Amino acid sequence: MSRVPELFGSMVFNDSVMKERLPRDVYKALRRTIDQGTPLDPAIANVVAAAMKDWAVSKGATHFTHWFQPMTGITAEKHDSFISPCADGSVIMEFSGKELIKGEPDASSFPSGGLRATFEARGYTAWDPTSYAFIKDNTLCIPTAFCSYTGEVLDKKTPLLRSMDAISRQACRVLRLFGKEVNRVTTTVGPEQEYFLINKEDYARRPDLILTGRTLFGAPAPKGQELETHYFGTIRPRVKAFMEELDDELWKLGICSKTEHNEVAPCQHEMAPVFTTTNIATDHNQLAMEVMRKVADRHGFVCLLHEKPFEGVNGSGKHNNWSISTDKGENLLEPGSTPSSNAQFLLFLTAVIKAVDEYQDLLRISVASAGNDHRLGANEAPPAIVSMYIGDELGAVVDALVSGSDYTDPGKNSMDIGVPVLPHIPMDNSDRNRTSPFAFTGNKFEFRMPGSSFNIACTNIMLNTAVAEELCQFADELEQAEDFDAALLQLIRREIKAHQAIIFNGNGYGAEWPEEASRRGLLNLRATPDALPHYTDEKNVELFAHHGVYTRQEMESREEISLEEYNKTLHIEAMTMVHMLHKQILPACMDFSGKLAQNVAVKKSIGVDSPEETQLVRNLTESTANLSTLTVALEELLQKVPEGTQPASRYYCDQILPAMGKAREAADRLEMLVGKDAWPFPTYGDLLFYV
Ligand code: ADP
Ligand code: MG
């Protein structure tokens, strides 16, 4: 373990490398850019680029790439070598400031949702100096933002950086009212990443896993997760070896992987890093997913990041732990121990409550996908209804504020403005509500709806911007106040009262909750096509325009891209189903029943009656015919997808998905009738339980 400190960040052009390799004035200028967002002088960029290149070459790198996050949800890279030919036939390794700052990849094949016609294929990538460059596969990767030539954003990083600026601006205004001069406030995120590891050989025999990332067929195994033996269970040696190598690889990249454990479902695990600035946490999470896949491969596993790879078994999510802190290290969601810090905490808490209530739709949209639709509302994931859990202690404070009564906890004082001294809120409250989509966990909020394969940028763009808006409104009001304390208390009371419907401390999995939520007027956007059209609701367009995060066109294009992705995903799934039915399942069923029928005939020819076998042949033949009919029905439906992204998404949701469900049910029943050796691919038992 002693080598960990040397290993950590060894592939990152981080602060200590910069300090060591850059002239002092260049280092200082770059640091100012990183910390305060001041523009970088091109002359300085040249020096930085040369130092970066020398460092990268010393680590064995031969290429560089602008590493970016287009709207596909994955990361993109186009590698160029450092090589530059000389007149004498030799080469030198070169990398200029211009190449560092700006790249011009052909953008035509990335989704733009109509923002950019293919013939205007030019796009450019711009260096994001706030996220350190790193080396991956002998390539120097430079984290970048990706825009069209006319300036529209085509990626997830640019709006995330804008949303971080927005919340910083507004939070600094609010802090000034409390007498604090703060230059920058940043949101921090620690994303917990769930995943499955399954055997590579099994994966290779499942076209559904290969093409869609999830199983489209599979009867339940005799054993599921009912014994609850997997969660935090002993880690199998093969998995342990994987986790050790994963940690090594992540540490080299400066990703502070901290916690590794088994999750609830068989073959399901989790990795949680130590939290960091949202922008870096997002980059790191994208990288971590990539590294997980690669390392799994080296251990004979495939890492499944799909939200619901197996029906009837827990799916995988990504818990977005989120907080806000100042550049002086003060966590603004940490309840204080003095009356004034309590008041400040309560104001930020109120901003989050108001934001989550007013922009429930955006939070829901940020986690909407075909894959996550199978998970949200299932028994292990929060429901599709957004609500907040704040715990009993804070709940009592909030109730007291709303009812206007003084919250009196024996032994605790109440400050003049009536804001109580908060009781100590245990950070690791063990019985905290696991069923809440958005839970306060002592000094941060944990948003549990994001799916395991998601880029967390989107969720954090929504959260940062929505909270920025509320802080802006609060600052507008309080900056005008004559009596700050009185105005503050009045505002907190008024807003909590207006938005307390979003607070729900009960069981989010309970059957009564959807009814109760509907009485409270909360949204229940069950499926992706229910949620996405709200993206461009007028209030949302105004929100993002107000804070300079998205223009209307950018939002329209994002809505279009997400809906299109939903449609394409379902199309591929349905086609894969039809393919597996025709090529594998139906032939296997026919073969099996045919052989059985032959046996019956042979037995009969020697005078042996086999009524049970005869009945089984009949059953199999009928069920196979039924499955065949369902297959044809699905194929026919696929021919009739309506024009237009939105109508098509409704059709996929309301027509195709139920037809897929019926075909699956029939096929899974047949799986139980057909002999194991005759079934054409590994079953749930094979995939999830092995030695
Ligand atoms: P649990 O599984 O009990 O929710 P974990 O320890 O697995 O808890 O994950 C908690 C995550 O929250 C970690 O990634 C941790 O770094 C992160 N976290 C802790 N404090 C903050 C904070 N102030 N801001 C953002 N994330 C935080
Ligand atoms: Mg958690």
Summarised one tens digit per residue, pLDDT across range 38-52 is 777 888 889 999 999
Nearest CA to ligand 1 atom 23: 323
Query: In this structure, which ligand is nearest to the CA of 317?
Result: 2
Q: Assess whether pLDDT exceeds 60 at residue 416.
A: no
Q: Assess whether pLDDT exceeds 50 at residue 251.
A: yes
Confidence band of 118 (pLDDT split at 50, 70, 90) = very low
Kindly state the DSSP code that residue 12 receives in the 8-state scheme. Answer: B
Which residues on adjacent β-strands are paired with residue 136? 139
Query: In this structure, which ligand is nearest to the CA of 259?
Result: 1
**What distance in angstroms lies between residue 189's CA and the mean position of ligand 1's atoms?**
8
Q: Assess whether pLDDT exceeds 60 at residue 280.
A: yes
Per-residue b or e along 267-278, where b marks 16 or more CB atoms closer than 10 Å to that residue's CB: bbbbbbbebbbb
CA distance 33 to 50: 18
Tell me what the mean pLDDT of segment 172-185 comes to: 95
Tell me what the mean pLDDT of segment 258-274 comes to: 90
Query: In this structure, which ligand is nearest to the CA of 331?
Result: 1
Q: What average pLDDT is seen over the chain?
A: 90
3-state helix, strand, coil in the chain (%, to 5): 50, 15, 35
Please identify, by atom number, the ligand 1 atom nearest to the C-alpha of residue 428. Answer: 3
- Of 196, 354, 220, the closest CA to residue 269 belongs to 196
Nearest CA to ligand 1 atom 1: 192
Tokens of 635: 């194929």
CA 526, chain centre distance (Å): 18
**What distance in angstroms lies between residue 447's CA and the mean position of ligand 2's atoms?**
9
**What distance in angstroms lies between residue 517's CA and the mean position of ligand 1's atoms?**
28
CA distance 196 to 534: 32
pLDDT at residue 218, as a whole number? 98
pLDDT at residue 429, as a whole number? 47
Q: Assess whether pLDDT exceeds 60 at residue 244.
A: yes
**What distance in angstroms lies between residue 441's CA and the mean position of ligand 1's atoms?**
9
Q: Assess whether pLDDT exceeds 70 at residue 427.
A: no
CA distance 659 to 233: 38
Helix axes 552-580, 538-546, angle to 10 degrees: 120
* Close Cβ partners of 24 (under 8 Å, ≥ 6 residues apart): none
Look at strands 185-199 and 268-273 and give their pairing: antiparallel
Whether ligand 1 lies within 6 angstroms of the CB of 190 is answered as yes
Ligand 1 pocket mutation pick from 187, 192, 319, 447 by most atoms within 8 angstroms of CB:
192
pLDDT at residue 417, as a whole number? 47
Q: How far is CA 636 from CA 368, 649, 659, in A?
A: 27, 17, 10
pLDDT at residue 379, as a whole number? 64
pLDDT at residue 469, as a whole number? 98
- Of 506, 498, 519, the closest CA to residue 401 belongs to 498
* SS3 state at 16: helix
On whether the CB atoms of residues 410 and 421 are closer than 8 A, the answer is no
Q: Assess whether pLDDT exceeds 90 at residue 24.
A: yes
Q: How far is CA 117 from CA 11, 120, 126, 155, 553, in A?
A: 38, 5, 21, 16, 14
Query: In this structure, which ligand is nearest to the CA of 323?
Result: 1
Kindly report the pTM of this predicted structure. 0.93
**What distance in angstroms lies between residue 453's CA and the mean position of ligand 2's atoms?**
16
Q: Assess whether pLDDT exceeds 70 at residue 438.
A: yes
CA distance 119 to 108: 7
Kindly state the DSSP code that residue 73 receives in the 8-state scheme. Answer: S
Half-sphere exposure of 339 (CA within 13 A, CB side): 13
Q: Assess whether pLDDT exceeds 50 at residue 413.
A: no
* SS3 state at 460: helix
Which residues on adjacent β-strands are paired with residue 193? 271, 318
On whether the CB atoms of residues 448 and 378 are closer than 8 A, the answer is no
Q: How far is CA 393 from CA 421, 429, 439, 513, 571, in A?
A: 12, 11, 13, 22, 48
Ligand 1 pocket mutation pick from 279, 321, 430, 463 by most atoms within 8 angstroms of CB:
321
Nearest CA to ligand 1 atom 2: 192
| Element at 126 (helix H, strand E) | strand 123-127
- Indicate the Cα dihedral angle 678, 681, 685, 689, nearest 10°: 130
Whether ligand 1 lies within 6 angstroms of the CB of 72 is answered as no
**Which of 179-183, 508-512, 618-622 is the most confident on average?**
618-622
Whether ligand 1 lies within 6 angstroms of the CB of 501 is answered as no
Q: What is the chain's alpha carbon radius of gyration, rounded to the nearest angstrom?
A: 28
For the chain, which domains are there?
A: 4-152 (3.10.20.70), 171-214+223-407+428-550 (3.30.590.10), 566-688 (1.20.120.1560)
Please identify, by atom number, the ligand 1 atom nearest to the C-alpha of residue 323. Answer: 24
**What distance in angstroms lies between residue 553's CA and the mean position of ligand 1's atoms?**
35
pLDDT at residue 415, as a whole number? 42
* Close Cβ partners of 623 (under 8 Å, ≥ 6 residues apart): 589, 666, 669, 670, 673
pLDDT by residue (tens digit) across 292-331?
999 999 999 999 999 999 999 999 999 999 999 999 999 9
Whether ligand 1 lies within 6 angstroms of the CB of 275 is answered as yes
Least confident of 400-414, 487-501, 551-565: 400-414
Kindly state the DSSP code that residue 337 receives in the 8-state scheme. Answer: S
Whether ligand 1 lies within 6 angstroms of the CB of 257 is answered as no
- Indicate the Cα dihedral angle 488, 426, 389, 357, nearest 10°: 30
pLDDT at residue 539, as a whole number? 98
On whether the CB atoms of residues 275 and 188 are closer than 8 A, the answer is yes
CA distance 538 to 638: 34
Q: Assess whether pLDDT exceeds 80 at residue 421.
A: no
Which residues on adjacent β-strands are paired with residue 91? 85
A 10 A CB-CB count for 20 gives 10
Tell me what the mean pLDDT of segment 548-566 comes to: 94
CA distance 206 to 281: 33
Tell me what the mean pLDDT of segment 5-18 comes to: 94
Confidence band of 509 (pLDDT split at 50, 70, 90) = confident
Q: For the chain, how many residues are written?
A: 691
Whether ligand 1 lies within 6 angstroms of the CB of 186 is answered as no
**What distance in angstroms lies between residue 447's CA and the mean position of ligand 1's atoms?**
11
pLDDT at residue 340, as a whole number? 62
**What distance in angstroms lies between residue 277's CA and the mean position of ligand 1's atoms?**
13
Ligand 1 pocket mutation pick from 275, 320, 447 by most atoms within 8 angstroms of CB:
275
* Close Cβ partners of 422 (under 8 Å, ≥ 6 residues apart): 335, 336, 342, 345, 393, 394, 397
**What distance in angstroms lies between residue 242's CA and the mean position of ligand 2's atoms?**
22
pLDDT at residue 430, as a whole number? 41
pLDDT at residue 456, as a whole number? 97
pLDDT at residue 670, as a whole number? 98
CA distance 82 to 96: 10
pLDDT at residue 152, as a whole number? 80
pLDDT at residue 455, as a whole number? 96
Per-residue b or e along 404-438, where b marks 16 or more CB atoms closer than 10 Å to that residue's CB: eeebeeeeeeeeebbbbbbbebeeeeeebbebbbb
Whether ligand 1 lies within 6 angstroms of the CB of 192 is answered as yes
Nearest CA to ligand 1 atom 7: 272
Whether ligand 1 lies within 6 angstroms of the CB of 427 is answered as no
On whether the CB atoms of residues 543 and 462 are closer than 8 A, the answer is no
pLDDT at residue 33, as a whole number? 85
Confidence band of 495 (pLDDT split at 50, 70, 90) = very high
* Close Cβ partners of 305 (under 8 Å, ≥ 6 residues apart): 195, 213, 289, 292, 293, 316, 452, 453
Whether ligand 1 lies within 6 angstroms of the CB of 274 is answered as yes
Whether ligand 1 lies within 6 angstroms of the CB of 321 is answered as yes
- Of 459, 268, 286, the closest CA to residue 369 belongs to 459
Whether ligand 1 lies within 6 angstroms of the CB of 263 is answered as no
Tell me what the mean pLDDT of segment 340-347 comes to: 84
pLDDT at residue 122, as a whole number? 63
Q: Assess whether pLDDT exceeds 80 at residue 231.
A: no
Nearest CA to ligand 1 atom 14: 190
Kindly state the DSSP code that residue 505 receives in the 8-state scheme. Answer: -
Confidence band of 174 (pLDDT split at 50, 70, 90) = very high
Top-confidence residue, 337 or 107: 337
Nearest CA to ligand 1 atom 19: 275
Angle at 391 between CA 390 and CA 392, to 5 degrees: 130
Q: How far is CA 27 from CA 10, 46, 52, 513, in A?
A: 19, 12, 12, 55
Whether ligand 1 lies within 6 angstroms of the CB of 326 is answered as no
- Of 615, 637, 458, 616, the closest CA to residue 73 belongs to 458
Q: Assess whether pLDDT exceeds 70 at residue 423.
A: no
Share above pLDDT 70 across residues of the chain, in percent, rounded to a whole number = 91
pLDDT at residue 130, as a whole number? 87
CA distance 31 to 29: 5
**What distance in angstroms lies between residue 385's CA and the mean position of ligand 1's atoms?**
23
Whether ligand 1 lies within 6 angstroms of the CB of 284 is answered as no
pLDDT by residue (tens digit) across 473-494?
999 999 999 999 889 989 999 9
Please identify, by atom number, the ligand 1 atom nearest to the C-alpha of residue 272. Answer: 14
